[in-house]
Amino acid sequence: MRTSPDVIAAEGRRFHLDRRTGIELPDESGGMIIPDPEWKLRTRDEKWYPGDTAHMAIGQGDVLVTPMDMACFAASVARNEVFTKPTLIHNPNAPTQHSESIGLTPAQRAALLDGMEGCTSVPGGTAYNLTTTKALRIPNVRIAGKTGTAQIPGKKNVAWFICFAPLENPEIAVAVAVEGDTAGETYAGSFYAAPVAAVVLKKYSRRKTSRPSSASGRDCRAW
């Protein structure tokens, strides 16, 4: 509440969560929404309430983003920057991407990464359960992750998981969104989306160990 909806919205837009990523696809969705009081008044002719701020702060309420947005967001956080432009075109000579720094202090960034790693590896973490933890366990690879559940009243919930790895020198970022098959069913990211990401990470890890790689944390790309 102290941060305020306008500041939260401005930060979301600084990460480009309100616009297309620019990937080379003809029909990328353009329906992303990062709401604020002005948006709600203009589109719904309704007042903004404190509960709207609480919902927006955790990515619920009227927030609307795509899996591609969140894959790019994960890659950006991995690089400590605010924007990643994804591409389908492999170009080994492409320059390393750079964008504005997030602006965290070293202590703040350490706390963020510690929490994201704890999500996948510490009892009590939202992606820590016997099934998911076993799936996410890759020898000598630390994974930073975040689960989520898009709760749509009367409709099918969507399980989310975003991550990047290795934590100390990121090379790959992943976003998974899995739609439930029953309206109102609890469809948590830790049980449904995180294991999908684990398959991708393990496949990447096996491929990486079988061939030289020039990737680094400064060039983390979204898959």
Summarize the confidence of residues 170-195 as an average pLDDT: 79
Q: Which of 1-15, 84-98, 121-135, 200-214 has the highest mean pLDDT?
A: 1-15
pLDDT in tens, 31-48: 899 999 999 999 999 999
Summarize the confidence of residues 168-190 as an average pLDDT: 79
- Rounded to 5°, the CA angle 178-58-12 comes to 95
- pTM of the shown model: 0.86
Q: Which amino acid is at 215?
A: A
Report CA torsion sign: 98, 103, 106, 111.
negative
User: What is the DSSP track for 85-147?
Assistant: ---SS--TTPPPP---B----HHHHHHHHHHHHHHHHSTTSTT-SHHHHHHH-BTTB--EEEE
Helix (H) or strand (E) holding 174: strand 172-179
pLDDT in tens, 110-155: 999 999 999 888 777 777 665 566 666 778 889 999 988 887 777 7
